[in-house]
Chains A and B, each alone.
Chain A
Amino acid sequence: MNQYVLSIYQPDGPVPEPEILDPIMRDLEVLNTDLREAGVWVFDAGMHPPETATVLRVQGDEVLVTDGPFTEGKEHLGGFIVIRVEDLDAALHWGRRLAKVLRLPVEVRPSQS
């Protein structure tokens, strides 16, 4: 078995209107239930917007604290799900479902554990 991180990339800006968001959240609930019932769910996290992030960087002996996300850009990591499955094809199967539900790009990446 391998562990994979399914990372969700979302555009910055306001949260979509309820008429758009609500059906998406309902589909996501179904997917979450399926992930648990299939025994592949390990962990997940939805994140607050990137402007709530803080970056720490070592400079000499100091650790510099800066406001905002690590990368500049119009899209940022919005959340992730960790799953445990047989191989990449199985991970891509769940990743594809997630991307379809959210209509957002999903990065599938193996984790070392």
Chain B
Amino acid sequence: MTSDFAAVFRAEHGRAVAVLTRVFGDLEIAEDAVQDAFAAALEKWPATGVPPSPAGWIITTARNRAIDRLRRESARAGKHAQAALLHAEAETLEEGAVHDDRLRLIFTCCHPALALNVRVALTLRMLGGLSTAEIAHAFLVPEPTMAQRLVRAKAKIKAAGIPYRVPYEADLPERVRGVLAVVYLIFNEGYAASSGETLVRNELAAEAIRLGRLLVDLMPDEPEAAGLLALMLLQQSRRPARVAPDGALVRLRDQDPGLWDHVLITEGHTLVRRCLRRNQPGPYQLQAAINAVHADAATAEATDWRQILQLYDHLLALDPTPVVALNRAVVVAEVEGPAAALALVDDLSLDTYYLFHAIRADLLTRLGRLAEARTAYETALSHTTNQAEQAFLEERARH
């Protein structure tokens, strides 16, 4: 029952909040009502069993409870309650619009007028149904801080009139990029946590993949949505091989491909092929394609580095950032050797990025410049607080 309930909660929270936001025209009323309904379900369902349409049950219960509450409040001359009630009476509850409702909710949570960290937190809260405590834990801030951030975000949405709507055609490409960036940020926090131990982080990556599937479902004509999902699936497929039994980080080239999750790889590959047929490459699709080539290789030696380098050239042209240039340099090391790669790396200014120093250290090691390599590993160490990454660097620095 508990796991049934948790599954329903994860799957239906976003849908319910989305529908009720349309019904009441207010994010906060919607969220409170959905909380109420899930609390009622937790009381009822153990006796009655999970109803045939859990989503329908939650939405109907939430709507009725919210209307009851608003009636009581509007009797006490609550102007806000009256307005919400009026809105609710004008709206009919149709299931057909659900798809669109969730898309509207995503765009509301990811509105560019909200700070990026607020967009991430709000998306996890409203669509993912994560508790304030879970989000706070995942992003390493005290729970009251996260609670305050969410309250402030909801207050801004209401006061500033951030619309519950998919943006106009003209704004769409820019906004879609923002939405995808938020989901990838959530994934990255789960995949390579910026610090701390690991538990909630894995769930965060899984949550991002769930949101990614939702986006593909909601925006079937957006190739970058498919690209992002493929990228996350292919990265996630390596998770079992990325960490050794003692918790140490294992580099891609040292991983045992037998440990990779081949179900995720197959799904990722299918998406990448679908993207290729469309031929509208974007940064996420190219990164997914790069990861697909990695996944194709049975061993690190069998990797088609030239093809990866071509994809990186394309990616660097679309997204000329130092981090992309750094990753490309790693591939250059495989194709043209460590000296060529080091020359590229030394041209980049990424002084505070631990991977920059770690990659430099690796290239210096391969060139036999061991004293310089050791210094570079030490610099890398000073730029990460993630324990697994620290352990990996300490191990490398000793050689």
Show the binding face of A for B, using Cβ within 8 Å: 2, 86-89, 91-92, 109-110
Residues of chain B lying within 8 A (CB to CB) of residue A89: 162-163, 165, 167-168, 171
Q: Is the CB of B163 within 8 A of A87?
A: yes
CA distance A92 to B161 in the complex (A): 11
Tell me, rounded to whole Å, the shortest Cβ–Cβ distance linking A113 to chain B: 12
A interface: dominant SS: mixed
Indicate with 1 or 0, residue by residue over B140-165, a CB within 8 angstroms of chain A CB atoms: 00000000000000000001111101
Can you report 22 residue pairs joining A to B where beta carbons are below 8 Å apart?
A2-B161, A86-B163, A87-B161, A87-B162, A87-B163, A87-B165, A88-B113, A88-B160, A88-B161, A88-B162, A88-B163, A89-B162, A89-B163, A89-B165, A89-B167, A89-B171, A91-B161, A92-B113, A109-B160, A110-B159, A110-B160, A110-B161
Tell me, rounded to whole Å, the shortest Cβ–Cβ distance linking B40 to chain A: 33
Tell me, rounded to whole Å, the shortest Cβ–Cβ distance linking B163 to chain A: 4
Residues of chain B lying within 8 A (CB to CB) of residue A92: 113
Residues of chain A lying within 8 A (CB to CB) of residue B111: 88
- Residue of B with least CB distance to A2: B161
Residues of chain A lying within 8 A (CB to CB) of residue B161: 2, 86-88, 91, 110
CA distance A92 to B113 in the complex (A): 9
Q: Which 7 A-B pairs have the closest CB atoms?
A: A87-B163, A87-B161, A2-B161, A88-B161, A110-B160, A88-B160, A88-B162
Residues of chain A lying within 8 A (CB to CB) of residue B165: 87, 89
CA distance A109 to B113 in the complex (A): 11
Show the binding face of B for A, using Cβ within 8 Å: 111, 113, 159-163, 165, 167-168, 171
Tell me, rounded to whole Å, the shortest Cβ–Cβ distance linking B180 to chain A: 19
Residues of chain A lying within 8 A (CB to CB) of residue B113: 88, 92
- Residue of A with least CB distance to B170: A93
Residues of chain B lying within 8 A (CB to CB) of residue A91: 161
Residues of chain B lying within 8 A (CB to CB) of residue A110: 159-161
CA distance A92 to B175 in the complex (A): 14
The CB with the most chain B CB atoms within 10 A, among A86, A89, A91, A92, is that of: A89
- Residue of A with least CB distance to B171: A89
CA distance A110 to B160 in the complex (A): 5
Tell me, rounded to whole Å, the shortest Cβ–Cβ distance linking A110 to chain B: 5
Tell me, rounded to whole Å, the shortest Cβ–Cβ distance linking B95 to chain A: 26
CA distance A49 to B113 in the complex (A): 30
CA distance A87 to B171 in the complex (A): 15
CA distance A107 to B138 in the complex (A): 33
- Residue of A with least CB distance to B175: A89
Residues of chain B lying within 8 A (CB to CB) of residue A109: 160
Tell me, rounded to whole Å, the shortest Cβ–Cβ distance linking A3 to chain B: 10
CA distance A88 to B168 in the complex (A): 13
Tell me, rounded to whole Å, the shortest Cβ–Cβ distance linking B104 to chain A: 12
CA distance A60 to B374 in the complex (A): 65
CA distance A110 to B168 in the complex (A): 21
Tell me, rounded to whole Å, the shortest Cβ–Cβ distance linking A97 to chain B: 13
CA distance A2 to B159 in the complex (A): 9
CA distance A87 to B32 in the complex (A): 23
CA distance A89 to B167 in the complex (A): 8
- Residue of B with least CB distance to A89: B163
Tell me, rounded to whole Å, the shortest Cβ–Cβ distance linking A60 to chain B: 34
Tell me, rounded to whole Å, the shortest Cβ–Cβ distance linking B154 to chain A: 14
Residues of chain B lying within 8 A (CB to CB) of residue A2: 161
- Residue of A with least CB distance to B164: A87
**Given pairs A87-B162, A88-B163, 4 additional interface contacts (CB within 8 A):** A2-B161, A88-B111, A89-B163, A92-B113
Residues of chain B lying within 8 A (CB to CB) of residue A86: 161, 163
CA distance A91 to B111 in the complex (A): 14
CA distance A68 to B160 in the complex (A): 31
Tell me, rounded to whole Å, the shortest Cβ–Cβ distance linking B116 to chain A: 17
CA distance A25 to B161 in the complex (A): 30
Residues of chain A lying within 8 A (CB to CB) of residue B168: 89
Tell me, rounded to whole Å, the shortest Cβ–Cβ distance linking B273 to chain A: 36
The CB with the most chain A CB atoms within 10 A, among B111, B160, B168, is that of: B160
CA distance A92 to B163 in the complex (A): 12
CA distance A89 to B171 in the complex (A): 10
Tell me, rounded to whole Å, the shortest Cβ–Cβ distance linking A7 to chain B: 14
CA distance A113 to B168 in the complex (A): 26
Residues of chain B lying within 8 A (CB to CB) of residue A87: 161-163, 165
Tell me, rounded to whole Å, the shortest Cβ–Cβ distance linking B167 to chain A: 7
CA distance A91 to B159 in the complex (A): 13
CA distance A2 to B162 in the complex (A): 11
